[in-house]
Structure 1
Amino acid sequence: MSNGAVAPIGGPQPLDWKFSQVFGERTAGEEVQEVDIISAIEFDRTGDHLATGDRGGRVVLFERADTRDNAGQRIDLEKMDYTMNRHPEFRYKTEFQSHEPEFDYLKSLEIEEKINKIRWCQSANGALFLLSSNDKTIKFWKVQEKQVKKVCDMNVDSTKAMGNGSIVGSSISTSSKQYIENGGCISSDFSFPTAGFPSLRLPVVTSSIETNLMARCRRTYAHAHDYHINSISNNSDGETFISADDLRINLWNLEISNQSFNIVDVKPANMEDLTEVITSAEFHPKHCNMLAYSSSKGSIRLIDMRQSALCDSHSKLFAEQVAPGTRSFFTEIIASISDIKFAKDGRHILSRDYMTLKLWDINMDSGPVATFQVHEHLRPKLCDLYENDSIFDKFECCLSGDGLRVATGSYSNLFRVFGCSDGSIEATTLEACKNPTRRQCQMPSRSLRSLGSLSGVVRRVKGADNSGVDANGNTFDFTTKLLHLAWHPTENSLACAASNKEAASIVMQSWDRCSVMNPRSVLFRWKKSND
């Protein structure tokens, strides 16, 4: 199956997932530092760059290497006839310190340097632009190649002082220095020639020019959130973005960092009346006036900014009603949505709560068009999960660029891929490691309907067995969780931030060679079964 291939009748065939690369691999016995754990991962819109952020406040960039041609970039018409047979190969590009730990003295609150979200902006003039955020501050970064020129052909030996300059050695005492008329100083072991200098040469720039990647913070958007920032999202207009915390959503202009406009505020007059908080927010990929945000009650609100400057009222509400008699202590906890993503065409919204993935059609608010069971096998363990706080883990979700598949993470470094197209019964569970073991999910007993034919009918896919064990028959490890993952925008490749307390790494190991870097993530790619 190549990119852009026509899907066979009855839906696309399940993909054969194979390990591709890994970055940040540790040697045996090497302890993983807390600051090295990946907390954000994101492809840019072309898929040629991958950004990761960690708990130490660093942003690491990787660049696609296998699509480069010695003669330069192919033009668009050539790319249409060019079939990509090679496996994706990303290599380390650069890294920079995005955030530092801070302390809010007014609130006596420590602000972690951990990167919560990374979002790519439109590139221009060969430079890369991205937004990165910790709990309180958002920064706008520009990454560009800078040419560094070298100077040579100096008058005197660089190890000795010049008459109108400063001495090189800092260890020379004041008593050993001799001062001259023009204010310079020379060392005691330096003497002018008796006949003077025959000539003075001006320094010149060498023909060799080095090119270095430089990351520069162009804007800092701060002091606009009283609570922790959980989302940032770029607008399709290329000029604005939103940032969301538990109670507010602010609208920013990329070029204005000292003011923002509060468009959503769910804070009640009395905090004791607070019943839900904002958990995630995202702009529509095509319509710059629309955005959606999710809540801790399992609902998604669609907002049209043309209706009102203050968007406290929504245009559509997407929520699934709880069946009578099924409520329990954990009902509202597991219903909280941790992440939402728009499909590339903007027609569907994917949401992730603790137990399921749900696919919503923005034209149908009666219920999700598809529900994928992710953690149903953990329902008997909800008490234990509540005791160790695992029930509050925030798993992210993503969709493929063609909208035919969805994916999310789980425990024991597992990730799950589900097919959501006409007639698809794909449900794959794999471990994000060098030697992934495929585990087939329990298939539904009836065929799936087309999304277009679902008029108010909820389709449920029974994914993952209820054994509560991993692929090797071991109990699920709740300390190794795959929270963050991203789908390549044009190819069936997944970047997964896998980690555990014993051996977490962010390495990218290509099919041909292995490059060890600081970050930790694993990249998977589909491959034809007959390859």
Structure 2
Amino acid sequence: MSSAGRRRRTTSSITPSPTSSSSSGNQESRPSQLPQWKFSQVLGELPAPAAGGHRNGPAALQDDADEISAIEFDGRGEYLAAGDHAGRVILFRRTDDDDAPPQAWPRAELERTDYAVAPPPRYSFAMEFQSHEPEFDVLHSLEIGEKIKKVRWCARPNHRSLCMLSANDRTVKLWKGRSRNARRRRKGTASGAGAPRRCLCKNRTLNGRPRNTGIGDVGDGYSAKCRRVFDRAHEFNINSISNNCDGETFVSADDLRINLWHLEVTSQCFNIVDKKPADMEDLVEVITTAEFHPSSCSLLGYGSSSGLVRLVDLRRSALCDQSVRTFKDRQSRPQPSTFFTEIISCTTDLKFTGEGRCLLTRDYMNLKLWDLRVETSPIATYKVHEFLRPKLSELYTEDYIFDRFSCCASKDGSYFATGSYSNTFKVFSRTAAQTSGTTLEASTNPYRVQSHAPTKIPVLFSSFSLGVGRKGQDGPRSDGKEEMPCNMASRVTHIAWHPMENFIVCAANNSLYMYHR
């Protein structure tokens, strides 16, 4: 990776929030029930585009390897991890706590700070390490990419150790990071407002890529080492991993199976869900995502391509082929069944909210909130891509209909967020009467939602692993069709909510945009 690319990744640029004058025109259009979000920070932002919407100079050549493919806060929000297409994991540390007033300050100064508005969380680069490398599956004659699919934090054994799981298509690795100078922060750099912190790796190849030595790059007093490798257990691509609240086990899910692992055992795992039929021609659905309950270590929820969300109990049987709850919207107004019905109803992400009392699911069109006690219909349905329903044929032809969008929720379960096209994301309120939400742009001015010129840009890859139901249905492309109402090539697919505060981070290409209220 070039030095310019590494500087983009490790540099933290902080700009002031938009002034009231710049957003006064949109003030009336914002729903009063929703919080007013302000730009907080951007990490790895590229230079602004030149006139006409095109980037000029070296910055115009964006490296696809730098595109962020996974983001995750740790349990306390002290650290933020991001994975990219090149198999790297980048860690950012919260630094605004370093500016807390010391106890030696005069009492009058401490009382004055009590009335000041608490600053939003601020993050700076901590370290970067190479988690996965390209591999070749000889048995299936298949190339396995290094792209990071998921990153999940594990329970921290002490304040200096950081444990996390990272996964590509076939392998899950347990990494342990360590802060050697957690109590010794340099004044000036701890604020994260200035100089970039470049990663230095002693083991480099001729092309600039770090060797897979099991030891990560060393940042400002940080290092990472691979402790466990969980592999050779998935025949299909891994789509999700989830840690159990018992702190000892986790699950990894692919298209047809969900495996249960122990963090200390790599030689074996337990297959708890198996959807593989005796004849693959009889396959009717695939597993798309899986998530453990946040407080009950025996409950696991997983979604499928048919739109069903199942809740299983690991205490009932070794193979969880029978679910204790099956969530399906049976009371909504039925839509005409078409070829695209199953594709757009595919569950792409799910999260437990409200301390595990509710379930948040995302499909291509909607964001749905479920009560775990009610299986027949969701509590609320939030429209995200309803304006694209007349364009399903064009979306299918260009493979955009297979895009997978994640979702997240606030700590108390009152607010939800998910990504969309045109470099935007939406925030919804559980108590608001309207379900359209607030649309924000992933930029320094979130309320400046620009109307991008529709452009036909070829898609790089499809997100639906098996393409169930496709079977040669690709129709001829028509040049006379109307253009899309939004920029389909620019999308926000990964988004995360701070576990303690009203603070959102979303990934746009190779940048992380952060917002607070």
- Global fold match (TM > 0.5): yes
Partner AA of 2:44 in structure 1: G
1:523 aligns with 2:489: no
Evaluate the alpha carbon distance shift between residue 421 and residue 70 of structure 1 in structure 2; reply closer, same or farther with a 3 A threshold: closer
Partner of 1:349: 359
1:285 aligns with 2:298: no
Contact 1:428/1:438 (<8 A) preserved = no
Q: Distance in 2 between matches of 1:57 and 1:491?
A: 29
1:90 aligns with 2:106: no
Q: Distance in 1 between matches of 2:249 and 2:322?
A: 21
Structure ranking higher on relative contact order (CA contacts 8 Å, 6+ apart): 1
1:64 aligns with 2:94: yes
Deviation of residue 436 (structure 1)? Answer: 2.2
Deviation of residue 421 (structure 1)? Answer: 2.7
Partner AA of 1:41 in structure 2: I
Q: Distance in 2 between matches of 1:336 and 1:73?
A: 54
Partner of 1:186: none
Partner AA of 1:33 in structure 2: D
**Aligned pairs (5 A) from 1:27-42:** 27=47, 29=56, 30=59, 31-42=61-72
Partner AA of 2:35 in structure 1: L
Partner of 1:99: 132
> Identity of paired residues, percent?
52
Q: Distance in 1 between matches of 2:433 and 2:343?
A: 33
Partner of 1:157: none
Contact 2:329/2:377 (<8 A) preserved = yes
Deviation of residue 491 (structure 1)? Answer: 1.1
Higher relative strand content: 1
Partner AA of 1:38 in structure 2: I
Q: Deviations over 1:225-249 (max 9, x none)?
A: 0000001000000000000000000
Q: Distance in 1 between matches of 2:334 and 2:78?
A: 49
Q: Distance in 2 between matches of 1:490 and 1:146?
A: 26
Q: Distance in 2 between matches of 1:485 and 1:73?
A: 37
1:420 to 421, 425, 430: 430
- Secondary structure of 2:250's aligned partner: strand
Partner of 1:392: 402
**Aligned pairs (5 A) from 1:223-372:** 223-321=232-330, 323=333, 326-372=336-382
2:169 to 122, 126, 135: 135
Partner of 1:491: 501
1:433 aligns with 2:443: yes
Contact 2:72/2:80 (<8 A) preserved = yes
Larger Rg: 1
1:120 aligns with 2:153: yes
Q: Distance in 2 between matches of 1:21 and 1:249?
A: 37
Q: Deviations over 1:163-198 (max 9, x none)?
A: xxxxxxxxxxxxxxxxxxxxxxxxxxxxxxxxxxxx
Deviation of residue 268 (structure 1)? Answer: 0.7
Deviation of residue 83 (structure 1)? Answer: 7.4
Evaluate the alpha carbon distance shift between residue 73 and residue 389 of structure 1 in structure 2; reply closer, same or farther with a 3 A threshold: farther
Evaluate the alpha carbon distance shift between residue 106 and residue 323 of structure 1 in structure 2; reply closer, same or farther with a 3 A threshold: same
Q: Distance in 2 between matches of 1:33 and 1:411?
A: 20
26-35 or 319-328, larger mean C-alpha shift: 319-328
Q: CA RMSD in A?
A: 2.5
Partner AA of 1:91 in structure 2: S
- Secondary structure of 1:406's aligned partner: strand
- Secondary structure of 1:216's aligned partner: strand
Evaluate the alpha carbon distance shift between residue 335 and residue 23 of structure 1 in structure 2; reply closer, same or farther with a 3 A threshold: same
1:222 to 231, 243, 247: 231
Q: Distance in 2 between matches of 1:431 and 1:232?
A: 29
Deviation of residue 425 (structure 1)? Answer: 6.4
TM-score (norm 2): 0.73
- Secondary structure of 2:98's aligned partner: coil
Partner AA of 2:297 in structure 1: C
Deviation of residue 94 (structure 1)? Answer: 0.5
Partner of 2:457: none
Unaligned runs of 5+ in 2: 1-30, 48-54, 105-109, 182-218, 451-483
Q: Distance in 2 between matches of 1:73 and 1:275?
A: 63
Q: Distance in 1 between matches of 2:345 and 2:256?
A: 18
- Secondary structure of 1:367's aligned partner: coil
- Secondary structure of 2:41's aligned partner: strand
1:375 aligns with 2:385: yes
Deviation of residue 71 (structure 1)? Answer: 7.2
- Secondary structure of 1:67's aligned partner: helix
Q: Distance in 2 between matches of 1:361 and 1:38?
A: 32
- Secondary structure of 1:380's aligned partner: helix
**Aligned pairs (5 A) from 1:116-195:** 116-125=149-158, 126-146=160-180
Partner AA of 2:499 in structure 1: P
Q: Distance in 2 between matches of 1:83 and 1:263?
A: 52
Q: Deviations over 1:465-515 (max 9, x none)?
A: xxxxxxxxx94110001000000111111110012xxxxx42xxxxxxxxx
Q: Distance in 2 between matches of 1:42 and 1:419?
A: 22
Unaligned runs of 5+ in 1: 1-10, 148-209, 441-473, 500-504, 507-520, 527-531
